Structure 1
Amino acid sequence: MVNSKLIGDYIAEQHSEVCAFIYDLDQLSAHIRTMTSRLPKQVDCYYAIKANSDSAILRALLPHVYGFEVASMGEIEKVRAISQNVPIAFGGPGKTITELTRALTLNVQLYHLESELQLARLNQLAKEQNQLVRCLLRVNPYFDLPSATLQMAGQATQFGIDERELLALLPRLGDYPNIQVEGLHFHCLSNNLDAVKHVTLVRHYLQTASTWAAQFGLTWTTVNIGGGIGVTYQGETEFDFPLYAEQLTLLCRDYPQLHLATECGRYISADCGVYLTEVTDIKLSHNEYFAVLRGGTHHFRLPSSWQHSHPFKIYPRETWHYPFTRPSVTDTAITLCGELCTPKDVLAKNVHVAQLKVADVIVFQKAGAYGWHISHHDFLSHPHPQRLYIKENQFMKNGDDHVAQ
Structure 2
Amino acid sequence: MAGFKLSHLVAGFLAVLVGYTSSVAIIFRAIEVVGATQAQANSWMLALGLGMGISGFLLSWLYKMPVLTAWSTPGAALLVISLQGVSLPEATGAFVFCALLLLATGLTGWFETLSRLIPMPIASALLAGILFRFGLEVFTSLQSDLPLVAVLCLTYLLGKRFFPRFGIPAVLAVGIVMSWATGDFHSGEALSLALAKPEFVMPAFSLPVLIGVGLPLYIVTMASQNVPGVAVMQAAGYEKPPVSASLVVTGLTSLILAPFGGYAFNLAAITAAICANEEADPDPRTRYRAALVAGVIYCIVGLFGAAIIGLFLIAPKALIVTVAGLALMGTIGNGLSQALARPEQREAALVTFMTTASGIAFLHIGAPLWALIFGLITEAVLRPRRATA
Query: TM-score, structure 1 length as denominator?
Result: 0.20
Query: TM-score, structure 2 length as denominator?
Result: 0.21
**Larger % of helix: which?**
2
**Larger % of strand: which?**
1
